[in-house]
Chain A
Amino acid sequence: MSGAWLLDGVLLLAVPAIALASLLSRRVLPALAAFVAYGLLLALVWMRLGAPDVALTEAAVGGGVTGVLLIGAAARLLMPAAAAPPGWPLRLLTALLCLGVTAGLAVAVLALPEPAPTLAPQAAEQLAATQLGNPVAGVLLAFRAIDTLLEAVVLVIAVIGIWGMAPDGAWGGRPGPVQPRLADGSVALLAMLLPPVGIVFGIYLAWVGADAPGGAFQGGSILAAMWILAWLAGLVRPPRIDSLALRLLVVAGPALFMLVGLAGFVVADGFMAYPAAWTKPVILLVEAALTLSIAVALCLLVAGWPMRRARA
């Protein structure tokens, strides 16, 4: 047990230290490096909190894909002229406000009722009806499926919003800056070796999520990471944004999910209900479509808006 306490102690000290380092660092790149480390440390915290699904998502999306996005942006953003730092009255006031919020939260956390109210027993009871083994998957795809559906729609809207930032003349082109083909170096090597393995792993992670830690988000983000790696190395080009196939891939997940939900009126108990005999196959089908759409959306969210008109 002491080993676990040691780990907890280290994490409880390291996480705020890294967060502080990221905030106070004078230059952007160290701040970003600290942020990526923060994400990975948080993944460890999630393991300590008994949430392996979340740990996977935090590592893949929160640390990995977000890190790529931010580092790519930092490389393209020119350094603005250093502004005068805010005066000490404002800093003091803000610090007091934040201290107040932290104190309020601490009081609230310590005043939470014991025993803690929980939905675990109900989830355990109802899980059998979903024919799933992973309770988190049960919540995401059955009990609170509407949240997952709306969240898939959020991704579509984010893609549209980012594409909408394109200059008018570039509409129809391929998203993102041109990535020159990297001839050698570690990125090029990784980009050639990793994707085949990563794709298999991503599909596996999405598939196994029904009964073990994993799922559409985790698997989808691994798939996205593989494509992004290949893109950064200049090995693949994104399709044009007016490509019908691309648009179909983006909408496949949420569209299928919504149609299955509506079908529930006819073949099951109601909206978003699954037919009793076919619950697991239908859930797996929806999850497959979601994995695909999530992967494509994550790639597009990292790539960005089209910068030049595509050649006819």
Chain B
Amino acid sequence: MMLGTTPGGGLLAFALALPVLAMLLAFVAGGRQAGRIALVALLAGLVLSLAIATSVLRGGDALVLILGGWAPPLGVALRADGISAVMLLTTSVVMVGTALFAFTSYSGRGGESRASLVFWTLLLGLWGAMNAVLLGNDLFNLYVALELLTFAAMPLVCLDGRAETLAAALRYLFFALLGSLLYLLGVALLYGAYGTLDIVLLSRLARADAPTLVAAALMTAGLLAKTALFPLHLWLPGAHAGAPAAASAVLSALVVKAPFFLVLRLWFGVMPELTTGPAPQILAGLGALAILFGSALALRQARLKLLVAYSTVAQIGYLFLMFPLAGAAGATLAGAWTGGMLQAVSHALAKAAMFLGAGLIAEALGHDRMRDLGGAARLLPMTVVAFGLGGLSLMGLPPSGGFVAKWLLLNAAIETQQWWWGLVLLSGGLLTGGYVFRVLSASMAGPAAAAVAVVSPGRQAVVLVLAILSVVLGLLPLASFGLVQVGRLAP
């Protein structure tokens, strides 16, 4: 059965057209209008992603759009299944929150400034690239989307122009480029072996022969470097901590998830035979090391933004626990799939809140040294509460989204008698609690600190809303997460 455009598939076209046209318009219109164009486009994008999610849920199957009427294998298709829809929605929510947060910082008042033009156009470009990764159904199309994402994200890291952030951006670029090239190498082998790059077609054709296995190894290695899984995480803390707060939020919440999303597509979509056998244990083992080392390093950081960045390194490890736990079909093991996606979504919301909150604290105090954080809680109570709520979700305390995610993964670990991953989950929660409490207790010490700059309550409210969302996710009934199961390519 060939892929054909499904009703509602046309919506997917706008998920690409809206960001691209908005970015090009913002580039031409200039710095002062760029922010307004971006905000309008992002709000429209939020509505669009809700429409796509509803359509996928109602239809019970993935949305497909054949581009130009040329069907795969010759042509390219876009495909939105349950996990695409969920991540599209998360992307839109985090982007809107970030845009509202950053609206006054990059207003471009007094003529176009470098930072305002670059920030808004690259934010829109980043959004378009995320959508392209989430909807892409063709492996080479996904390569171009990954490069688009890297090129849009890297200049945001060094937006302030300091030597330190420029060096971090260069290191980020090198790791990201190596990752993309290894991925592309695998794509070449897959094309040579199967004559198509369409994910759905490949899932039917894939065999476990030499070219396929070599390709899988290369592509996975490349994607792991891009998603900063231990031990290829060295580039992340400098890059995410060095970026301005709004960019850090998007980088940690969204950009670093895109390669993970593709590993999911590769392992569970194209080559499900990989998910049986020892390979998933290796991935999860690296994930466990990421949780251990990331959390331990976060505990030792002297600066708040670096602490949050190392927390990202740790939390990415949780995502890879999904691989041995969701590796087979079955109702209870569908729980691990849901748990992993829920971890991705709640981490995205919580981490965005934490980075934006850290940014506000740094603005108000004039610095982000952990040692001198005292009084921040009395100065910015909403923000510190938001930080705490985000931390709650990362720790996996009820009733947050993070709790439900880890509970589902724990359940799956027990059901499949892989109790060692359950141990990892529990100890990870303890370690996360360690560095979250470190921040909270540091900020609550002493009388209110002197404010260097005024932080508007509107921006604090945005941070709080993002944090509340990550907690409220856990209150939704489990059935509502059925969306993530839609359109899963069965082995």
Contact = CB atoms under 8 A, between A and B. Distances in A.
Whether A and B touch (Cβ < 8 Å) is answered with: yes
Nearest to A144: B76
Among B24, B76, B193, B196, which residue has the most Cβ atoms of chain A within 10 A?
Answer: B24
Given A108-B189, A261-B13, A270-B5, A160 B155 contact: yes
Contact of A112 (B21, B152, B211): B211
Interface string A254-268: 110011011011001
Contact of B68 (A112, A118, A143, A150): A143
Nearest to A167: B161
Interface stretch (A119-127, A188-196, A218-226): A119-127
A161 B68 contact: no
Given A160-B125, A255-B21, A274-B68, A168 B113 contact: yes
A295 to B, nearest CB: 17
Interface residues of B, number: 62
Contacts of B95: none
Contacts of B5: 270
Interface stretch (B140-148, B332-340, B440-448): B140-148
Among B28, B69, B73, which residue has the most Cβ atoms of chain A within 10 A?
Answer: B69
B195 A251 contact: no
B114 to A, nearest CB: 4
Contacts of A116: 192, 195
A300 B418 CA distance: 55
Nearest to A305: B114
A266 B233 CA distance: 47
Given A113-B193, A161-B122, A258-B20, A273 B154 contact: no
A154 B24 CA distance: 12
Contacts of A161: 118, 122, 151-152, 154-155
B76 A147 contact: yes
Contact of A165 (B125, B161, B185, B189): B161
A185 interface: no
Interface in A5-40: none
Given A161-B152, A251-B28, A270-B69, A123 B192 contact: no
A123 B161 contact: no
Contacts of B121: 157, 160
Contacts of B196: 117, 119
Contacts of B209: 111
B70 A126 contact: yes
Contacts of A126: 70, 74
**Chain A interface mostly:** helix
Interface in B1-36: 5, 10, 13, 16-17, 20-21, 23-24, 27-28, 30
Interface in B189-229: 189, 192-196, 209-211, 214-215, 217-218
A153 B148 contact: yes
A18 to B, nearest CB: 20
A37 B128 CA distance: 37
A166 B160 CA distance: 10
Contacts of A109: 189, 192, 211
Interface stretch (A58-66, A69-77, A242-250): A242-250
Given A108-B214, A144-B76, A157 B122 contact: yes
Given A112-B211, A247-B27, A258-B17, 11 more contacts: A119-B195, A151-B144, A154-B148, A157-B152, A164-B114, A165-B166, A171-B114, A255-B24, A269-B68, A269-B69, A270-B10
6 contacts: A109-B189, A119-B73, A150-B148, A157-B152, A160-B27, A262-B13
